Amino acid sequence: MAELSRVSATIVDRRTARDCDAVAIASANIGPLAAVQTMVAFAPRAPIMVEGDSADHLFRIMTGVVKVHRALADGRCQITGFLFPGDLLGLAPEAVHRHGADAVGPVILSRFPRKKVEQLVDVSPLVARLLLRLAYDELNAAHEQMLLLGRKTAPEKVASFLIAMARRTGSDTLDLPMTRAEIADYLGLTIETVSRTLTQLRKAGLLRIYRHQIQILDRAEMGDLSEGN
Amino acid sequence: MAELSRVSATIVDRRTARDCDAVAIASANIGPLAAVQTMVAFAPRAPIMVEGDSADHLFRIMTGVVKVHRALADGRCQITGFLFPGDLLGLAPEAVHRHGADAVGPVILSRFPRKKVEQLVDVSPLVARLLLRLAYDELNAAHEQMLLLGRKTAPEKVASFLIAMARRTGSDTLDLPMTRAEIADYLGLTIETVSRTLTQLRKAGLLRIYRHQIQILDRAEMGDLSEGN
DNA sequence: CGATCTGTTGAAGTGAGTCAATAGTGGTGG
DNA sequence: CCACCACTATTGACTCACTTCAACAGATCG
């Protein structure tokens, strides 16, 4: 793990109020776990978990965004999810990880020993319920993404992605932390198709784009597109 | 729910020894739940759950195969998974189902009230662990399928599917219960592409095909193909 | 024994990928 | 501080894997 020994002050200061809120909310949920956590920071693009790593820690995202992915032998990559402040990483009960996880931008995580978490599940039905709830939310998201990957067209995929991001942040003005390549690997497309589709949506008057800032102009139209209407 | 009042004897008798074994194994796992179960039977193609149904029961597949799916407004469908004897259905803790489930062939399920299950989670850490384990297994399968849907070619998809089915049954001779249309909706392809790809694999000497019976002749080659080598 | 559903095969079309050139951007060091 | 360099994004021309449309062949079932 490419772990940074010290957290740069500038990295922390750049975080938005929204991130802090999300962390605060998640802290309330995690309850008894708070006692045994350690902080860890990662530089942009640093690998947090590698496929095959032994899985002996649970992470919670404090600031920044993490991508979780699987790859084929020849390098083709599918990003299975983006994790945001408050989300958990490394819950799967396997001995070794079946997926990799990288920092998208600068990331700060809190880390718990997995054994402690498992003990808590046995002791506290509240923790068990929380983890079950989170697992099923993830499963639901995964199934939704399977529908996207298997059956949606490129414009529908991009629209779905932007709408989902807007729903998460609660704003129609997005500041995407990920590159076009990462969006492509998330949507099962190529960078070129993502780029072309974005300009196509812009020319149709649905978006305004300046690099990673994207503003959704016609939310209704975008919503219809994302659902295949 | 299109529920049959009586289970036809012929349906039951047609089940294989393998199915019965799977059920026996699953019964051992489910432990305390066994006391509150009811049996329900469904005819081939009968809907078991409809998107939007209230989710107040948990099912366990006793015999037969169930497909779980999501659809877009215009009818495009993605099958998110096939469930086999021993598998659970309807665990998600939402008030209403986000997915539909249909019987593929004749199906017998055992049904539990959801409230009872939730009570058990609170009382028994063993049940909590079991459900968590199952949820993460499903999540892992979903992520693997996302890699397939987003990044694999048609031959790789079909090979992956057949290898996975062979792994599940423990035999290289498969008797697929699902139609080409269902395979297509599971792999994000069309019926025609599934059909063409199967004949292509057959002509390459990797398969032998007679309708729903498929025999994997070259397991190594098929495995390589499924992993993108 | 016809009607209907499922599966196969062929021909033609197309959405997204590939290859390639160019234009922006951001970080680094002289 | 700015000039360079490497990286990211956009755009165009072309290709191709998969889809679509269509015809037909087997199964299955009343």
Distances (CA, A) of A61 to A1, A179, B82: 16, 19, 33
Percent of chain B with pLDDT over 90: 70
**Contact yes or no for A150 and B149 at CB 8 A:** yes
Question: Which amino acid does the sequence have at B184?
Answer: A
CB atoms within 10 A of CB B95: 8
> Which B positions 184-213 lie with beta carbon below 8 A of chain A?
185, 187-188
Quote the pLDDT of residue A37: 78
Global pTM value: 0.88
Residue A190: CB less than 7 A from any atom in strand C: yes
Q: Which residue has the higher pLDDT, A27 or B39?
A: B39
CB A180 within 8 A of CB A194: yes
Confidence (pLDDT) at A189: 98
Contacts of B190 (CB under 8 A, 6+ apart): B184
8 Å CB contact between B67 and B101: yes
Strands (E), chain A: 38-42, 47-49, 57-63, 66-71, 77-83, 88-89, 100-103, 107-113, 173-175, 207-210, 213-216
Band of pLDDT at residue B17, cut at 50, 70 and 90: very low
Burial class (CB in 10 A: 0-12, 13-18, 19+), A220: exposed
pLDDT over 90 (residue B143): yes
Residue A106 neighbours by CB under 8 Å, 6+ apart: A8, A11, A14, A41, A42, A43, A44, A63, A64
What is the per-residue pLDDT for A29? 56
Q: Which helix (H) or strand (E) holds B216?
A: strand B213-216
pLDDT reported for residue B30: 58
Element (H, E) at B181: helix B180-187
Q: Name the token pair of A48.
A: 């947090």
Does residue B127 register a pLDDT over 90? no
| Residue lying closest to nucleotide D7, CA to C1' | A179
Contact B132 A133 (CB under 8 A): no
> Does the CB of B44 sit below 7 A from strand C?
no
Q: Which residues contact A110 (CB under 8 A, 6 or more apart)?
A: A37, A38, A39, A40, A59, A60, A62
Interface test with A, best of B67, B69, B80 (most A CBs within 10 A): B80
> For residue A2, what pLDDT is reported?
39
Of B10 and A131, more confident:
A131
How many Cβ atoms are within 10 Å of B78's Cβ, its own excluded?
Answer: 26
